[in-house]
Amino acid sequence: MHEERSHPKPLHLSADYVQDKLRAYFKADSLKLEKLDIKPAILKKNNYSSLMTRINVEYTTDESEDKQATKFMIKTNFAEKNPAAHVFIKYGIYTREMDMYQRILSKIADLVKREIQDPRRICAGTVYVDKDRDSIIFEDLALEHYKVACRIKKLDLAHTHLVLERLANFHAAGAALAERELGIFKNNYDRGFFNRHTRGYEPIMKSLLMTLSRSLNSDQELRQRYQAKIDRLVDRIMVYGERSTTNNPGDFLTLNHGDLWTTNLMFQYDAKGQPINAVFIDFQFSVWNSPAIDLHYFFSTSIRDELRLNNQTELVQFYYYKLKDALKKLKYAGCMPTLFDFQQQFRTRAFYAAFASLIFEPFMVYDGEEKVSLEHVISEGKGGIRFKDDVYQQECVRQRLHHTLPYLDQWGLLDDI
């Protein structure tokens, strides 16, 4: 009974509904659904804004009386039940991801496969987008043995290079698509975490920075050097964030994933356990901007500390040449910056690294005893304060701050910008 309340099955997933969608997907009007099994599916430790469901199906067609079995994933948004719906709606996340699966991802996948000539999949294929029910049915990548890497251990160099290679293809295809279909990203693709339309995240970001400041009281060295800087940053976080995502003439722009961290990636491995492909999932915050914001966010949340602190310049170089090669294959006619210019573009958006590493990353590695919920993140009551304090008091977070704060400070990202 408790499980049913906490993770209810979407009411619209009747046998007739699923059969109708599978007939269209398989282009088989004779398809008959023989069995439907609906179970909760959790791809992440935390899913703040949607419900994930896996359906196991068996079906027959006129072409074959033998039963065929397969699985699909269904993502359903419940804005009316979400304590942060008033925030998310302003960012357009509920409609944007449906648009990505309905219009955009298949075109990007086709460009990557056909013109960049990379046969590997780059995302899950779309089965059906139901805008009336805020629901998306897509392929279950577990059937091809894709899985999520450990968000706490983070990604080594092999995984990082693979993600950057796939990301370069994704970005190149997005730029080419915008060039060929003018206006395709005009509506609702300008609302990342920082934008000119809403500051819905402002109370959350300020609260988390204040929690970070409070956590420094237990570390005399960090408190003396950085607490005053963090306190000043509280009232400037949105201004600096918006500045870091403001596009300048001559910038190379494209479609960004927008929320690129470990659990929004799935990896496929060979028989020796080496990663051979990476695919992207969760496109709620996809945004038209500099690819530097995807890079900063990914580096700050998902790769191992030694890479994050010591190898970013060469990782940007690695990504740049993959991007340049992909754009060449796509016959992209826009201006491709030099490596020097792109490194400068990456540098001008460096505050995105401060935001991601100080505000989001501690929650991404949380493995404590407190119940994880966005309601607790938003709340300033005793429960919310206790949860946020626990997040920033994690030993891994406390130790990482001894590297992260000096690193950000060396770049001047904790001072007036």
DSSP strand pairing (254-256 vs 64-77): unpaired
**Alpha helices in 235-380, H assignment, sequence order:** 237-244, 292-302, 305-310, 312-329, 339-348, 351-355, 361-364, 374-378
Q: Per-residue pLDDT tens, the chain, 417 aa: give them.
A: 233 344 567 778 999 999 999 999 999 999 999 999 999 886 444 445 678 999 999 999 998 879 999 999 999 986 666 666 777 888 998 899 999 999 999 999 999 999 999 999 999 999 999 999 999 999 999 999 999 999 999 999 999 999 999 999 999 999 999 999 999 999 999 999 999 999 999 999 999 999 999 999 999 999 999 999 999 999 999 999 999 999 989 999 999 999 999 999 999 999 999 999 999 999 999 999 999 999 999 999 999 999 999 999 999 999 999 999 999 999 999 999 999 999 999 999 999 999 999 999 999 999 988 877 777 888 888 888 999 999 999 999 999 999 999 999 999 999 998
Fold for domain 95-123+153-410? Aminoglycoside 3'-phosphotransferase; Chain: A, domain 2 (3.90.1200)
| Residue 18 near residue 57 (C-beta atoms within 8 A) | yes
Reported residue count of the chain is 417
3-state secondary structure of 52: strand
Alpha-carbon gap, residue 79 to 407, rounded angstroms: 38
Share of the chain above pLDDT 90, in %: 84
Task: Write down the domain spans for the chain.
Answer: 2-77, 95-123+153-410
Alpha-carbon gap, residue 97 to 103, rounded angstroms: 10
Alpha-carbon gap, residue 181 to 341, rounded angstroms: 26
